[in-house]
Structures are given as C-alpha cells and as structure tokens.
Amino acid sequence: MIFQILDANYAYDNQRNPLVQLFGTTPEGKSVTCRVAGFRPYFYAGVEDGWQKSAAETLAAMGLEVEEILRFEPIGFQKTPKKMLKITATDPKEVRVLREKVREVPGIKTVYETDILFKNRFLIDQNLGGMGWVEAPIPEWAEGTSGHTHSGSDAPLVNVSTLHPILHEANAPMRFMSFDIECLPDHGEMPRADRSPVILISMAF
C-alpha cells in the first residue's frame, strides 16, 4: 500500500519499545495509521584523541549501545571526517538525561544531535518527509472507511526495513478544516485568555 504522510509521532509497545506512528491518506482518500518498529533514538559524542576505547567501554557499562564511526562535525569546515561515538538508546524520552551523563564521561568533549525529535530523526533517516509518499506492507483492512481510522493497538505494525519512499507527484484527496479567533486586548497588550473578549471566530472547511 502507498500513502501520503500527513503527520507522525511515536508511542510504545507493551515492552516499552518505541513505535513510530505514521498518519496518512491513500490515493483513494482513505485514512491510514501505520506503526513502525525497529527504529531507536541515537546521538553522537565527540571524543578526545586517545580516549575512544576508554569512553566507549564506560558508555557500554552504562547499558548503552556504542559504535565508533567517522563523521564530519556539524559546525565548521573540515576536509576529513573525525572519529566519533554513535550512542544508541532505547527510549526517546531518555536522550536528554543520557546527554548529560555522557558529557560527564572522561574523554567526552561534546555531544551532537541530541535535540532532534525522535519522529524527525526517523523521517530524515528513512528519506521521508511531510506530505511525502511511502510504500509499506499494510493490509487492506488497515484503510479507514466511513471516517474511521485505525489507530493505537489495532493499527498495523511493520518493520522499519520494509518502508520505501516513492515518488508520487499528485496529492491525495484532502479534507480541510481550520479555525481562528481574534481577541480585543487591553491598551495594546497581548490578549489574555482570562479577560480579553473574543470578537471574531472564523472556520473554514
């Protein structure tokens, strides 16, 4: 099945493994929710020369998956990539805490890409994007009908390796609804919910 990606977030399975959730629409205008397993959060650490092995062993002892890689630093011009450690975690919500712990490891001089949202990391790595099209091994029963969209535990579960971005120029049939309000602030201040009267409500669909 192919569908156009409208939104993405993540949830967890029963073992607290992260599952990326893709929400989209098929070329026929049917809603689809697809849960994707097999993708984990990660970030990079720059290491002082001669400290790669020691730092990697310390991080592994902390229960982290560590891989030594060659990568260009994100800032500044470099002619050759530098040795870094790729640190893979299990829970996207732990990355900020792990970032601070990794910084305290002897030999670690800095960390990179810890502020990239998990869903964005997934989309970037899989060469997907908002309003992009993807092919996934989703059965026909997963297509929403009559306004129903499969979500949560009844949405199909696929492995990240089975997703494939595809080139599709047209947009799927869309249903739109948007709304806006305008408030009257006091003395030119920013509107406040507790006292600024609503003077206009608009909706389009």
Domains in the chain and their CATH numbers? Answer: 2-38+120-166 (2.40.50.730), 42-115 (3.30.70.260), 175-205 (no CATH)
pLDDT for residue 30 is more than 80: yes
DSSP state of 34: E
pLDDT for residue 141 is more than 60: no
At residue 77, what is the residue type? F
Q: Residues 133, 5: contact at Cβ < 8 Å?
A: yes
pTM across the whole model = 0.78
Q: Which two tokens stand for residue 202?
A: 């608009």
> Which pLDDT tens digit goes with each residue over 82-134?
899 999 999 999 999 999 999 999 999 999 999 999 999 999 999 998 899 99
pLDDT band at 68 (very low <50, low <70, confident <90, very high): very high
> Which pLDDT tens digit goes with each residue over 10-23?
999 999 999 999 99
> Cα separation of 82 and 74, whole Å?
11
At residue 204, what is the residue type? A
DSSP state of 88: E
> Cα separation of 37 and 16, whole Å?
11
